[in-house]
Amino acid sequence: MNRLVRLFRTSIGSKLVVAASGTLLLGFLFVHAGGNLLILKGPDALNGYADWMQGHPLLWGFRLGLLALFAVHVLTAIRLARANRAARPTPYRRIARLGARLPGRLMVFSGLLLLAFLIFHLLHLTVRAVGPEVQPLLDGAGRVDVYGMIVASFSEPLTAAVYLLAMGLLGLHLVHAIEGLFQTLGFNHESYQGLIRLLAPALTLLLVSGFAAIPLLVISGALGGG
């Protein structure tokens, strides 16, 4: 039997698939957040970056890759979660200390809500099928005015609230995911246990605040106000 086929049929192999795809998605999210923060340098920087990306020959390859990562991550995670549910057919009457592991127990919940948000997000800012009509669509240099679109969108309190809520969910997912991925990939060890425990909330906070900063700055009027 092929090595990889046999590996991915085991519990540890499947967990490896979730962890590896999750880690790559995490890497994407950091790049994405970094790109978004170009908004702080003004319309020219953000619109130029978006324009460069739109014209990139690898754009579709990258998008398909991301789609595949999401599909693999979600489908494998759901397959494992179903097997886990089946492994305890009779529930306990009492379970002690349930609350202490809440983010971990909500992984499927937070993950599926993130997926729903992702679809909304793509419809909103990529396909632009929902959200405000932005006029004019192009900036002075003839590029899509992403800056104007973002400011207009987040000026609507409801849209900003949806994005902020989603970032809360992302934090809920990642605080457990980042700690877990070191364990799943086999890195957890006495020597860096403390570091990992610190790294998970720190990286989560960094990423979530990077994303959430933009709607917050727009609402507060610090961005796009003038």
Partner 1 sequence: MDFTLHIWRQHGAAEAGRFVTYPVRGISPDLSFLEMLDVLNEELVGRGEAPIAFDHDCREGICGSCAMVINGDPHGPLPGTTTCQLYMRHFANGAEITVEPWRARAFPVLRDLIVDRAALDRVIQAGGYVSVNTGAAPDAHALTVSKQAADAAFEAAACIGCGACVAACPNGSAMLFTAAKVVQLAMLPQGRPERARRVIGMVEAMDDAGFGNCTNHYACAEACPKQIPARFIARLNREFLNAALTSREFVELARPHEHEE
Which residue ranges make up the site for ligand HEM (CB under 6 A)?
15, 18-19, 22-23, 25-26, 29, 73-74, 77-78, 81, 104, 107-108, 111-112, 114-115, 173, 176-177, 180-181, 184
Query: Residue 193 binds which entry of partner 1, ligand HEM, none, with Cβ cut-offs from 5 to 8 Å by kind?
Result: partner 1
Shortest spacing between CB 152 and partner 1, in angstroms: 41
Residue for token pair 């099928």: 129
Shortest spacing between CB 13 and partner 1, in angstroms: 7
Does residue number 139 form part of the binding site for partner 1 (CB under 8 A)?
Answer: no
Shortest spacing between CB 188 and ligand HEM, in angstroms: 11
Q: Which of residues 39-58 bind partner 1 (CB under 8 A)?
A: none
3 state SS for 65-128: HHHHHHHHHHHHHHHHHHHHHHCCCCCCCCCCCCHHHHHHHCHHHHHHHHHHHHHHHHHHHHCC
Q: How far apart are CA 210 and CA 66, in angstroms?
A: 20
Q: Which of residues 88-127 bind partner 1 (CB under 8 A)?
A: 88-97, 101, 104-105, 107
Binding residues for partner 1 (CB under 8 A) = 1, 3, 6-7, 10-16, 80, 83-84, 86-97, 101, 104-105, 107, 176, 179-180, 182-190, 193
